[in-house]
Amino acid sequence: MRRPPTSLLAICSLVTWLLACPTTSLARDYRINVGQLPLYAETKDRGILIDVIKAMDEEYAAGRLIIEIYPFERSIHNVAQGLADLHFPIVGSADWGPEDGPYEEELRARGLRRSTCSLTKSHFALFRHRNRPPLDLTRLDDYRIETDAGHRAFFEFPIQGTTCLPCSVEKLSANRIDGLVFASREIDLMIREAGLTNIARQNFRIFGSKFILPNTAEGARTDAMLCEVIGRMIRKGSLERAARPYSAYFVREYGDPYLPDLKDLSRLD
């Protein structure tokens, strides 16, 4: 009997292996749309958060994480339309765990949800005029406080939205509002660029920086992949190394890198 060609035997062996091991052999690429942000994500190759996502790509062995940059709302829209698998970043009220609340309800109405795990964390500070005492966090309803219009849903007290954060910084300096709540790094930069010295900062809340993904069975598998990859990065220390440019500000200002850690991982056990 004539022996089949070696190349045919090799192909048959490969097909047999693929059929026997479907879950490990088929790579799954993910298209991540990142909202374009100065410093954080300027292009698909430049930004302190882009560096962290690239480190995720190195850790994810079953395929590729393909980075694309879009304006923020379009990035989320692309996930809703099935043009992307993930959007990053988005504020997470629970820095490590499932989400609920008004914004999560808005996402679910669009067929979306936030991830369980955070890639980084962000310190939202409450800014006030320096001549005033610290604002009472138990009486925030009594103050005129502003935040970015797109972030109003993340706060439980009445808060005014603004589409011009630098304008709100100037209003705070002129005592036209009582407070401004937003990510401390961004507001600190606006204060410096405006040359203002009469604005003080107090701690407010730590939020998670999460992903938006489809609220489907496939989205649940994507969520599990994210937690697995981020968890490995935490245990190996590669997240801390990749995020040093991101964390430097928080370490300097607050003495904390604001990254998920082993304590966060234990909440999923």
User: What pLDDT is stored for residue 269 in this prediction?
Assistant: 64
Mean per-residue pLDDT for 49-64?
95
Mean per-residue pLDDT for 29-56?
93
User: What pLDDT is stored for residue 5 in this prediction?
Assistant: 52
User: What pLDDT is stored for residue 96 in this prediction?
Assistant: 85
Q: Decide if pLDDT at 215 tops 80.
A: yes
User: What pLDDT is stored for residue 15 in this prediction?
Assistant: 39
Mean per-residue pLDDT for 200-215?
96
Q: Decide if pLDDT at 8 tops 50.
A: no
Mean per-residue pLDDT for 186-207?
95
Mean per-residue pLDDT for 185-195?
94
Confidence of residue 116 (pLDDT cuts 50, 70, 90): very high
Q: Of 74-78, 217-221, 258-262, give the lowest mean pLDDT range.
A: 258-262
Confidence of residue 13 (pLDDT cuts 50, 70, 90): very low
Most confident of 22-36, 189-203, 251-265: 189-203
Helices 184-194 and 244-254 cross at an angle (nearest 10°) of 80
Peptide bond into 214 cis (omega under 30): no
Output phi, psi for 103, to 5 deg: -70, -40
Taking the model in full, what pTM does it have? 0.82
Three state DSSP letters for the chain: CCCCCHHHHHHHHHHHHHHHCHHHHCCCCEEEEEECECCCECCCCCCHHHHHHHHHHHHCCCCCEEEEEECHHHHHHHHHCCCCCEEEEEEECCCCCCCCCHHHHHHHHCCEEECCCCCEEEEEEEEEECCCCCCCCCCHHHCCEEEEHHHHHHCCCCCEEECCHHHHHHHHHCCCCCEEEEEHHHHHHHHHHHCCCCEEEEEEEEEEEEEEEECCHHHHHHHHHHHHHHHHHHHHCHHHHHCHHHHHHHHHHHCCCCCCCHHHHHCCC
Helices 244-254 and 48-59 cross at an angle (nearest 10°) of 120
- pLDDT tens digits for range 19-30: 344 333 346 999
Output phi, psi for 176, to 5 deg: -90, -15
User: What pLDDT is stored for residue 17 in this prediction?
Assistant: 38
Mean per-residue pLDDT for 221-238?
96
- pLDDT tens digits for range 151-183: 888 898 999 999 999 999 999 999 999 999 999
What rounded mean pLDDT belongs to the chain? Answer: 89
C-alpha–C-alpha distance, residues 145 and 181, integer Å = 7
